[in-house]
Chain A
Amino acid sequence: MSTVSLNSNNRSRVHPQKFALWLSMGSILMMFAAFTSAYLIKQSSGTWVEFVLPQIFYINTGVIVCSSIALHISCRAFISGKELIYKSGLVVALILGIAFLVFQYQGWNALFEMGIDLKGNASGAFLYLISFVHAAHIIGGIAALVLAILHAFTLKYKVTDKRKNRFEMTLHYWHFVDLLWVYLFVFLLFSK
């Protein structure tokens, strides 16, 4: 009630909540920019152990990109009234999102078996820290996906401005954490 009228003199076509979400993405991006710059500075200051990224990280990058695509299709379907694709897309996105977390965990295990652990040279610790903090943001996205699925299966299917905005916010955040991983992965790959 109040939130609707609160924002009724909104100046731009973007919903204020969506705009706030974009700002927080900028903020999250700054944190990872700090991590990766610290990585570069540390790397250039000597003592640095090089190692090959375990293969699972390559596969996992594909997994999270597919999850993003599934959610994108789902959102399109929601707006254009294809209820079945909307619901199944959401479920696929969630399953792939959880799979990403599981594979990340296996990636950390593979690293550990290679003898890269938190102690000792910072090059390994950086990889653990960066991917862990990223995973924490994925968990936030999964929470949003679970909420979206709850809405999809409990509420009667209807396209309203409010639901559209809510879904788009979930979508934007999920694309963001996905692209963030792609950036981090490419960074880790080429900064060797």
Chain B
Amino acid sequence: MGHFKATHEMDVMIEETGFDDHFHDHHHGDKYQSSFIGHYIFSMDHKIIARQFLFTGIFWAIIGAAMSIVFRLQLGFPEESLAWLKPVLGKWIVVNSEGIGTLAPEFYYALVTMHGTIIVFFVLTAGLSGTFSNLLIPLQLGARDMASPFLNMLSYWFFFLASVVMFYSLFLSTGPFSGGWTAYPPLSALPQASSGSGAGMTLWLVSLTLFVVSVLLGGINYVTTVLNLRTKGMTMWRMPLTIWAFFVTAILGILSFPVLASGFFMLMCDRGLGTSFFLSEIFIEGQALDYIGGSPILYQHLFWFLGHPEVYIIILPAMGLTSEVLSVHARKPIFGYKAMVYSILAIGFLSFIVWAHHMFMSGVNPFISNFFVVFTLIIAVPSAVKVFNWITTLYGGNIRLNSAMLFAIGFVSMFISGGLTGIFLGNSAIDIQMHDTYFVVAHFHIVMGIAAFFGMFAGIYHWYPKMFGRFMNETIGKLHFWGTMIGAYAIFWPMHYIGMAGVPRRYYSFETFDAFAHFDDMNKFITISAIVVFAIQIMFVINFVSSIWKGKKMTTRNPWGATTLEWTTPIETGHGNWDGKIPVVHRWAYDYGKDGKDFIDQVTPMAEGEVPGDH
């Protein structure tokens, strides 16, 4: 020790009560951060890796959202000329002799497919849990870094490679994969099935296999860190709900992504080696192919065994972030902490036994469907427990309506709206009418798309000072919230009506369907709303980037008055997080408004005769 002199009152407290792990004993220059490349590029510091995930996620979010605007233009304004997009999309805009440009149908499908793949995997999995698990797990647990900083670095770079491969596939002359983000065979298994099924699908498979590696490396690290590297006093039941959420998310990833990988390997064999796992007797252009007896349903089982836990991999981190932000900015302990933890565990468990509800119309035996209906509906119970606890946390709180808090409340709203339509879709009988319609699109966009984005925004506004030492602009932040909140409902609310009327999703054009003609105006309305919401997100990105240099500076360590450990580190948090000793934890993470104090951080020892907040 010796070199470090504590001056800040928090440092003094940590030096008094903390625990000396001799981290800084031999630290003559940090070998991890000695050069620019070591510091910012191939960094092993979890805080830098978190920002790398976030920046890459934002990059993909812009691309994925821009794609949705292009196909929404086609749906809302099929007659308008898209010739102005030709400089960007090139040959995918076909301009006729009168100068009217139309979107090529095969590229419409490619856009829909890529929009789904990018947002689900690259933005809401890597960008969300990658960012916040990396940032918060070591900081909130009182660890110097992840269990293996090296594997952590690899996790990001595998994601980066996956991103490069996927990005490259967008520029193929045959286009990226266009068979839907679920990549069902035969469109994904037969290279000749469509223009995107050739090279586009090959790159899609390579990219997502790299992505699986990234998720596994990350997840194994997160779980190991949570179980092994918590500081003294940080029992499992004192962990903030963010950590519980990331922990269960990582377990879901470790158990479900390998199953997807096995499906991918079989798909690769079908594509390259002529096996018949997923392909049965097929005629293409009058020619019989020599596949026999394969089953595309088998792929669906393997895919959805990942696919369903995947939606919880997306939503659980958002729930964790929301719980933390709601509690801090309502100045109240989270209501029903243990119930929240048990709900996370219950949701995690149930997510593994409901996958066939994505396949009700694939010819699954109705008796088997019954089993999946029941368990799907049971998920409503832990979800409702969480929603009631969030609302009760707000009740009687001393609420600060800043951007982070608004987005956290918005998350609860979106989760309720989207969750209720889930109860419709979870019934196999109602699914006969609803499946593959815009009702499904509306449901999952609200419940796991918009809601997860809201959780992510809440997290970004709340932990931005921790990441960059500055605050984001609050006025733009509030505009961002209200615009997105109203805009998102304007986009997806009408889709429920269209869907109930039976309008199918993924169609390029409804010109030949007279029955759907009267939805033209509604489609226009949805498209305009989507454009407005997209513009508002660009405003957010500008705010995000410019605040890194121009935002209001953070002058105190703990601007929100939060109890958790990440706010006990210096404003300029170096490698190893704490300059001296590691803080020791004496209480749970939610001592707000206790014994006449606004908050008591986890580092403060219990006073004589004090009753623990989590009794």
Listed in ascending order, the chain A residues whose CB lies under 8 Å from chain B are: 1-3, 5-12, 14, 16-17, 19-20, 23-24, 26-28, 30-35, 38, 41-42, 45-48, 118-122, 125-126, 129, 133
B255 CB-CB contact with A under 8 Å: yes
The answer on a CB contact under 8 Å between A11 and B147 is no
Looking at the assembled complex, report how far the CB atom of A155 sits from the nearest CB atom of chain B, in whole angstroms.
21
A14 CA to B294 CA, complexed, in Å = 45
* Partner pick for A16 among B23, B147, B256, B274, CB 8 A cutoff: B147
A16 CA to B227 CA, complexed, in Å = 9
A-B contact count (CB 8 A): 140
A32 CA to B256 CA, complexed, in Å = 12
The answer on a CB contact under 8 Å between B262 and A122 is no
Looking at the assembled complex, report how far the CB atom of B584 sits from the nearest CB atom of chain A, in whole angstroms.
10
The answer on a CB contact under 8 Å between A16 and B295 is no
The answer on a CB contact under 8 Å between A5 and B258 is no
The answer on a CB contact under 8 Å between A34 and B305 is yes
The answer on a CB contact under 8 Å between B298 and A42 is yes
The answer on a CB contact under 8 Å between B229 and A9 is yes
Residues in B whose Cβ lies below 8 Å from that of A32:
262
B149 CB-CB contact with A under 8 Å: yes
* Partner pick for B19 among A7, A9, A33, A120, CB 8 A cutoff: A9
B144 CB-CB contact with A under 8 Å: yes
For B147, give the chain A residue with the smallest CB separation: A16
A5 CA to B269 CA, complexed, in Å = 46
* Partner pick for A20 among B25, B151, B273, B302, CB 8 A cutoff: B151
B80 CB-CB contact with A under 8 Å: no
Of the listed residues B23, B219, B293, B295, the one surrounded by the most CB atoms of chain A closer than 10 A to its CB is B293
The answer on a CB contact under 8 Å between A125 and B276 is yes
The answer on a CB contact under 8 Å between A16 and B266 is no
Given A34-B305, A122-B277, do A20 and B293 touch, yes or no (CB 8 Å)? no
Interface residues of A, dominant DSSP: helix
B231 CB-CB contact with A under 8 Å: yes
A27 CA to B216 CA, complexed, in Å = 8
Q: How many B residues touch A, CB cutoff 8 Å?
A: 56
The answer on a CB contact under 8 Å between B302 and A9 is no
A31 CA to B259 CA, complexed, in Å = 5
A121 CA to B276 CA, complexed, in Å = 7
The answer on a CB contact under 8 Å between B227 and A30 is no
The answer on a CB contact under 8 Å between A16 and B302 is no
Given A5-B22, A119-B290, A125-B269, do A23 and B302 touch, yes or no (CB 8 Å)? no
The answer on a CB contact under 8 Å between A23 and B220 is yes
B507 CB-CB contact with A under 8 Å: no
Residues in B whose Cβ lies below 8 Å from that of A33:
259
A122 CA to B299 CA, complexed, in Å = 14
A12 CA to B402 CA, complexed, in Å = 41
The answer on a CB contact under 8 Å between A11 and B228 is yes
Residues in B whose Cβ lies below 8 Å from that of A121:
276, 292-293
The answer on a CB contact under 8 Å between A9 and B21 is yes
A188 CA to B266 CA, complexed, in Å = 18
9 smallest CB-CB distances across A and B, nearest first, come from A47-B293, A31-B258, A34-B262, A16-B147, A125-B275, A34-B259, A30-B258, A20-B224, A16-B228
* Partner pick for A30 among B26, B255, B301, CB 8 A cutoff: B255
B126 CB-CB contact with A under 8 Å: no
Given A23-B223, A30-B259, do A41 and B301 touch, yes or no (CB 8 Å)? yes
The answer on a CB contact under 8 Å between A23 and B293 is no
List which B1-42 residues lie within 8 A (CB) of chain A.
19, 21-23, 25-27, 31-32
A35 CA to B227 CA, complexed, in Å = 29
Residues in A whose Cβ lies below 8 Å from that of B59:
none
List which B254-268 residues lie within 8 A (CB) of chain A.
254-259, 261-263, 265-266
The answer on a CB contact under 8 Å between A5 and B25 is yes
* 6 A-B contact pairs sorted by A residue (CB < 8 Å): A5-B25, A8-B21, A14-B228, A23-B224, A32-B262, A42-B295
